[in-house]
Chain A
Amino acid sequence: MNILNIAYLTIREGQKRSIVRLALIMGVLFLILFGVGLHFIFVQFEQVEFMSASEMQLPANVLTMMGLYVTNFLLIIMAVLISVASIPQEIDSRVIDTIITKPINRWEVVVGKWLGFVVLIVGYTLLLSGGVMTISYVRTGLELFNIFGGLVLMCLSGITVMTITLAGGTRLSTLANGVVAFMLYGLAFIGGWVETIGAAFRNEIAVNIGIISSLILPIEALWKKASLMFQPRLLSNPSFAGPLAVTSEPSDMMIWYTIFYVVAILGYALWSLSRRDL
């Protein structure tokens, strides 16, 4: 199976690239910082006599969700960084010539790379999110609700960004591809906040802007769905959850839309590389 050979090479390359190593080191540093911060905050809370164990669950919830929010952000950045140069760099260096003159179809190269990146993204998500949840559970005893469902949506978010970056690389240079990927992310990020604030003030236009940005790149909607799976009671209450509150829950159709979106973009990537001259 040549798809698996390419996936294997992609994973090995991911392990060797300094940018991925740096992302891993930064992720571990983040976990250490999160753990130390959480510990000392709770040391202080535990000294307050009138604060009951159930009352301490609120700051534990908020801090954990903030940790997961940062994890989601790092995951998106990581998804762009690992995939942005993959195809354009191999085209520029002519490495791809040696591969695709072997008995392998071009679409197998794209699918193989995609699978390899999916493994890396899932691994990174499990490491960071799992780290945040484990630290939080060990220190505060906090148990999240639907951990599996939330993690699946976080992974889907990273896979969505990676797929669009991989597809961009079949036509764009590394730099142009990176610019497009981060601009799309910025659009989705701002759109998500506009929707959140618009929903809080019942501004229909702002909500619609958010929905349109979610259709262009549905990652903010996925994060909202994921966070509601982790902590449905807390995040639906703006007075408790503050900026993390989800004031308008995306519909379940958004998940199906995202899956269709990923399949369509991946399909474009296969078509695009198969058609282009190298």
Chain B
Amino acid sequence: MFAIETQNLRKEYGEKIAVEDLTLQVKRGEVFGFLGPNGAGKTTSIKMLLNLVRPTAGQGMLLDLPLGNTKVRQKIGYLPEHFRFHDWLTAGEFLDFHGRLYRMARSRRREVIPPLLELVGLESRLNTKLRAFSKGMTQRIGLAQALLNDPELVFLDEPTSGLDPIGRKLVREIVDGLRAEGTAVFINSHLLSEIEQTCDRVAFIRDGRVLEVNHMSDLTAGVLQLTLRVGQPPADLAAQLAQFGQNVQRNGIDGRFHMTVDGEEKVPQIANWVFENGLTLYELSPGRMTLEERFLQVIGNDSGDG
């Protein structure tokens, strides 16, 4: 039913808790973003899902089969972070080897490898050794091996790492194509703009715990970022504005107030309140919240590397 379903997955290394509680559900065919600061437990979480690391506690299913099941990997693709492979192989040999690991017949491998190379923009590199590949080309060939088996679920760990803007656009297009085919994609990325453009839902994780899971449309549609400028603001204006929203802050340089509100209806309410209190309104501009702003709001500005 779900592409990924986990219940209280936990990983401890001695006394250190890498992941405290990973409980989430990823639907089939959706593109799911996994966000969190460094040291939040993202990589360990992916490793537990892929059986690279054994969970200390909890359970999970991938495509309705328990974690660690070998058969399910027939339907899974994975691009690791900082992807590398034996660089003495040519691109064609590399994909052929992974095709054999997927138990694909020779005829099938011959059928899928050329179009895959074309998909990632490496069609002329079939016989080029991986050691001659740039970082971006290595990432592209890694992406090709993750798609070799026509997977139902793909894990992409920092897929745009090392890619130029053209490469990043290519990844977006590939992810869009996978979504159109009904493939679930689980993306771990630091590039929030990429997540914003590609994902259907996102999970925020900090200190090894999922803080919230949101639809991207809810994140950017519901919450508004307001900028307010009034003449001669009273000293307690920030405190009074807090009745309409959250995170009210005054810019010490230009005197503007910034705050987040839950919905558009708060905009005229604030305008009326300003007039009723005899203040002069110079500016009241609502703006959509970016994922980065939401990320900082949920995760907090102070969460450093861990």
Contacts and interface: CB of A to CB of B under 8 A. Distances in A.
Contact of A98 (B54, B74, B80, B88): B80
Contacts of B52: 97, 100-101, 277-278
Contacts of B84: 93-95
A278 B54 CA distance: 9
A105 interface: yes
Contact of A95 (B53, B71, B86): B86
B76 A104 contact: no
Interface residues of A, number: 21
A93 B85 CA distance: 8
Interface string A75-100: 00000000000000000011101111
A2 interface: yes
Contacts of A278: 47, 52-53
Interface string A99-112: 11111110000000
Contact of A102 (B82, B83, B102, B142): B102
Interface in A2-34: 2, 5, 9, 12-13, 16
Nearest to B142: A98
Nearest to B50: A101
Secondary structure at the A interface, as helix, strand, loop or mixed, is helix
B110 interface: no
Contacts of B88: 12-13, 16
B133 interface: no
Contacts of A95: 84-86
A116 B101 CA distance: 16
A102 B70 CA distance: 8
Contact of A277 (B54, B71, B101, B142): B54
A93 B80 CA distance: 11
Contacts of A9: 86, 97
A98 B85 contact: yes
A201 to B, nearest CB: 53
B86 A101 contact: no
Contact of A103 (B50, B71, B80, B82): B71
A5 B100 contact: yes
28 contacts: A2-B103, A5-B97, A5-B100, A9-B97, A16-B86, A16-B88, A93-B84, A95-B84, A95-B85, A97-B50, A98-B83, A98-B98, A99-B101, A100-B51, A100-B52, A101-B51, A101-B73, A101-B76, A101-B78, A102-B101, A102-B102, A103-B70, A103-B73, A103-B74, A104-B73, A277-B53, A277-B54, A278-B47
Interface of B: 47, 50-54, 70-71, 73-74, 76, 78, 80-86, 88, 97-98, 100-103, 142, 145
